[in-house]
Amino acid sequence: MISLLLILISSLFFVGIIVKTKAKIAARKMPSVLQPVYDVVRLFKKGAVYSQTTSAIFKMAPLVYFASVFLAVLFIPIGSQKALLSFDGDFVFFAYLLGIGKFMMIIAAMDTGSGFEGMGANREALYSMLVEPAFFILVGSVALFTNNVSFQDLFLHLKLDTNLYYIIGIASIYVFVYIAMVENSRMPVDDPKTHLELTMVHEVMILDNSGFDLALIHIVTWLKFSIYGALISNFIISNSWAIYWQIAAFFGIQLAFSLTVGILEAFKARNKMEKNPQWIIMLSAISIVVFLTVLIITEKIILN
């Protein structure tokens, strides 16, 4: 229960810190950290507008999207704090929970009959397909390293205490940061500030969403960022620490992650559209390096 509460609390501030960081770097007046929360509350008070071309799929998609991501949160442990749900191979179920939500949003965008939203859905599907191997290779490598196949057990038995082990940790954190950027359609894959339909990915997919539905979509973005921040924190937080140090470290890591996202978006240029697939595949290449390192450490490969 503690891990769930920590993720939910950190998600409320995550996007606000990103916006505040970007405003500070650009020397603009900084909004409140809770401004995204105020915006979502305002959206909840508004009614949703549906096009006559849409079907029940369009109305169901935001609910399924939110429910699938919220259920995925229940599988994430933090330090020695257990996840609410756990079983062998749960990281596969976790990945496909996120995939179900993404699939529903893709077909909902196509359900509108808009060429622009169909274009965004096509890009979203491509990027999700390309980033999926990076996630599975990386988590599979950590599972091989710890001889455990559930999030809870593999993080509980993860000990980074030599140089080769630190390579695993640093590379894993790097990959998870950019997986989070791809999954949330942020820089350098997508620019959430742009309003040009020809270059948008996620934003163009949700052009027809409004009111309650749009509020749920924004909340899902908060949760997904906080989920990946929690996964990153498990490579840093030691299970031997006292509970209050684990909680403090978790919020410190989430703060550092959100600041990193804000700084990257402020200084890093957006990739050219045709360069995005190669850039995403690069994450899989790094994951393969982690996998080979684990094979060496576990003596599955012996170097002469």
Q: Is the pLDDT of residue 55 over 90?
A: no
> For the residues 13-23, what does the mean pLDDT come to?
86
Task: Give the mean pLDDT of the chain.
Answer: 84
> For the residues 165-186, what does the mean pLDDT come to?
85
Is residue 304 in some structural domain? no
Is residue 280 in some structural domain? yes
- Please tell me the predicted confidence (pLDDT) of residue 304: 54
Q: Which residue has the higher pLDDT, 187 or 223?
A: 223
- Element containing residue 65 per DSSP (H, E): helix 56-73
Q: Which residues of 208-242 are buried (b: 16+ CB within 10 A; e: fewer)?
A: bbebbbbbbbbbbbbbbbbbbbbbbbbbebeeeee
Judge contact between 208 and 58, C-beta under 8 A: yes
Q: Tens digit of pLDDT for each residue in 80-117?
A: 788 888 888 888 899 989 989 889 988 888 888 777 77
Separation of alpha carbons 23 and 194, rounded Å:
16
Q: Is the pLDDT of residue 301 over 70?
A: no
Separation of alpha carbons 155 and 194, rounded Å:
38
Q: Is the pLDDT of residue 74 over 60?
A: yes
CB proximity list for 144: less than 8 A, separation 6 or greater:
291, 294, 295, 298, 300
Among 27-36, 134-143, 223-232, the range scoring the smallest mean pLDDT is 27-36
Q: Is the pLDDT of residue 33 over 90?
A: no
CA dihedral 172, 264, 285, 281 (to 10 degrees): 130
Q: Which residue has the higher pLDDT, 300 or 204?
A: 204
Closest CA to 270 of 183, 179, 199, 206: 199
- Which of 61-75, 263-277, 285-299 shows the highest mean pLDDT? 61-75
Separation of alpha carbons 218 and 119, rounded Å:
21
> For the residues 150-160, what does the mean pLDDT come to?
79
Q: Provide, rounded to the nearest whole percent, the portion of the chain with pLDDT above 70.
A: 93
Q: Is the pLDDT of residue 118 over 90?
A: no
The residue segments making up the domain with residue 261 are 2-297
Is residue 303 in some structural domain? no
Judge contact between 65 and 43, C-beta under 8 A: no
**Tokens standing for residue 166:** 């630190």
What is the number of domains present in the chain? 1
pLDDT band at 196 (very low <50, low <70, confident <90, very high): low
- Please tell me the predicted confidence (pLDDT) of residue 300: 65
Is residue 122 in some structural domain? yes
- Please tell me the predicted confidence (pLDDT) of residue 72: 92
Q: Is the pLDDT of residue 199 over 70?
A: no
pLDDT band at 182 (very low <50, low <70, confident <90, very high): confident
> For the residues 151-158, what does the mean pLDDT come to?
81
Is residue 128 in some structural domain? yes
Write the CA distances from 168 to 81, 144, 286, 289, integer angstroms.
Answer: 22, 12, 10, 9
> For the residues 112-125, what does the mean pLDDT come to?
79
> For the residues 245-259, what does the mean pLDDT come to?
90
**Tokens standing for residue 47:** 């009614």
Is residue 302 in some structural domain? no
Is residue 191 in some structural domain? yes
Among 26-40, 59-73, 124-138, the range scoring the smallest mean pLDDT is 26-40
- Please tell me the predicted confidence (pLDDT) of residue 162: 63
CA end-to-end span of the chain: 48
pLDDT band at 67 (very low <50, low <70, confident <90, very high): very high
- Please tell me the predicted confidence (pLDDT) of residue 195: 64
